[in-house]
Amino acid sequence: MYTKIIFPDTGIEEMKITDILVKEGDKILKEQPIITVESDKTSIEIPANQNGIIKKILISIGNKIHKGDVILEILNNEKKKIELKTLRTSNIEAKKIKVSDILIKKNNIIKKNKTLDLETYIHASPLIRKMARKLEINLKNIKASGLKNRITKEDILQYVKNEKNFKNNDFKTFSLNYKKFGSCEEIILNNIQQITSKNLSNNWKNIPHVTQHIETDITELEKFRIKKNNEFYQKKQNIKLTLLSFMIKICAHALKKYPNFNSSLSNDNKNLIIKKYFNIGIAVNTPKGLFVPVIFDVLHKSINNLSEILRNIVNKTKNNKLHPNDMQGGCFTISNLGQFKGSFFTPIINAPEVAILGISQSSIKPIWDGNKFIPKLILPLSLSYDHRVINGVEGINFLNYICTLISDLRNILI
């Protein structure tokens, strides 16, 4: 009669439950997200694998969860709808708990024998409840504007803006009292943004970064790329080569030539682990935060194939469809800011990798050929590396080798 929905294999041994997106009595559909979980590197939504009506939720926010653990039980027999409706009604009634002889301290006044309405009575998501707890707001005081009297983030913010709701220093989120200088708004970072912030901070503090910059001529490469794309278009082939697809392939060859860049330090920092495979991560910015999906076995893939894989994995990332396995096993990362104005930047190493390449926007510049200035399309590159593993000479040699391959792709064959 009842079916269990279990936690799938995410490729991560243990994850933390950060949000429960459904409640008992809800009707759910296959592929509908039911919980949000996170590890130290990622946050993902776990979908239901079948339709049904939720009988019982067996996990709580903050729990650790592993492969095979039961998330919830559902009823997927349509004949039992009436029974479930009755069950849901009884569950709601059970939430009204008469609490006797409970002492409630507030403003030094003791109140006894008070009937408490549990917070579960209030229609609000786990994220909204977390937000309210952080701001020390009683959700019963919030006027709900959402569907079915649900409290929304905008309702919380509107309540916060009403200064009379806060006395003295109750507005603890503005602990430095920024409000005295003008109006302020606090935005709660989502799980991915918090994880990214923590990881980048740790990487910057723990890795001695060195960043070297170089400009490279991509005039011929760009002519070749445009020519091939025109040929694909004429042949009605669904292929579109990008500069990034060429850079991914070029970086794989550079990693092969300079193996220290394709390494990681052991946990005790006493050994260097040289990798014999070539997997490259691509930093992808989304409204939810920064993700770094990995393209595997780059050295043995054609540029056409890489272009297709790149397009698919970027779409997958932006549609929140990444699996944790998609972000593991990287050897080297590329951060591409080529669509934005800017010359150089310092990309932060994605540990346990030891190097990362930043790509900035290309521009036409006059280059002296010995007789005259010639307009060339110049691409700025920024290479950050772990100085415990790589020295300055290796860094500039690595960059110059990339420039050599860019100037003439036939060098890849040598």
Cα 195 to Cα 201: distance, rounded to the nearest angstrom: 10
Q: Tell me the pLDDT band of 115, cut-offs 50, 70 and 90.
A: very low
84 or 374, higher pLDDT: 374
Q: Where are the beta strands (DSSP E) in 21-82?
A: 27-28, 33-38, 43-47, 52-57, 64-65, 70-75
- Give residue-wise pLDDT tens across range 185-231: 888 888 788 888 888 888 998 899 999 999 999 999 999 999 999 99
Share the mean pLDDT of the chain.
84
pLDDT (mean) for 147-172:
66
Which residue out of 123, 209, 323, 387 is catalytically annotated? 387
Query: Residues of 190-214 as b/e, b for ≥16 C-beta within 10 angstroms?
Result: bbbeebbeebeeebeeebeebbeeb
Express as a percent the part of the chain with pLDDT over 90: 47
Confidence category of residue 161, pLDDT binned at 50, 70, 90: low
Residues of the chain with CATH 4.10.320.10: 104-188
Q: Which CATH architecture has domain 2-94?
A: Beta Barrel (2.40)
Using alpha carbons, list the distances in angstroms from residue 175 to 13, 134, 170, 172, 178: 38, 13, 9, 5, 8
In the predicted structure, residue 399 carries a pLDDT above the cut 70: yes
Strand partners, 380: 215
pTM of the predicted structure, to 2 decimals: 0.64
CATH of domain 104-188: 4.10.320.10
Determine the pLDDT at residue 77.
60
Q: What is the pLDDT of residue 381?
A: 97
Mean pLDDT for 229-243 is: 93
- What's the rounded Cα separation, in Å, for the pair 304 and 227? 14
Distances (CA, A) of 178 to 183, 333, 408: 8, 38, 56
Calpha distance 375→224 (Å, rounded): 17
Q: Is the dihedral of CA 316, 300, 283, 331 positive or negative?
A: positive
Question: Residue 374's pLDDT band (boundaries 50, 70, 90)?
Answer: very high
Query: Residue 383's pLDDT is what?
Result: 97
Question: CA angle at residue 15 from 13 to 21, to 5 degrees?
Answer: 140
pLDDT of residue 93: 52
pLDDT at 156: 82
Q: What is the mean pLDDT of residues 75-94?
A: 54
The ranges of the chain annotated as CATH 2.40.50.100 are 2-94
More confident position, 410 or 310: 310
Mean pLDDT score, 298-303? 94
Question: Does residue 307 surpass a pLDDT of 60?
Answer: yes
The β-bridge relationship of strands 284-286 and 15-20 is unpaired
How confident is the model at residue 193, as a pLDDT?
A: 82
Predicted confidence (pLDDT) per residue in 8-47, tens digit = 988 888 888 988 988 888 888 888 889 988 887 677 888 8
Phi and psi based region of residue 320 (left: phi greater than 0; alpha: psi -120 to 50; beta: remaining): left
pLDDT, position 138: 83
Name the amino acid, one letter, at 238: N
Q: Which residues of the chain does CATH 3.30.559.10 include?
A: 193-413
Reported as half-sphere exposure (CB side, CA atoms, 13 A), residue 359 has a value of 22
**pLDDT greater than 90 at residue 359:** yes
The CATH number given to 193-413 is 3.30.559.10
| Chain centre distance of CA 304 | 27
Peptide bond into 126 cis (omega under 30): no
Told to judge if 387 belongs to the known catalytic residues of this protein, a careful annotator would answer yes
Confidence at 376, pLDDT banded by 50, 70, 90: very high
Q: Which two tokens stand for residue 225?
A: 């790329």
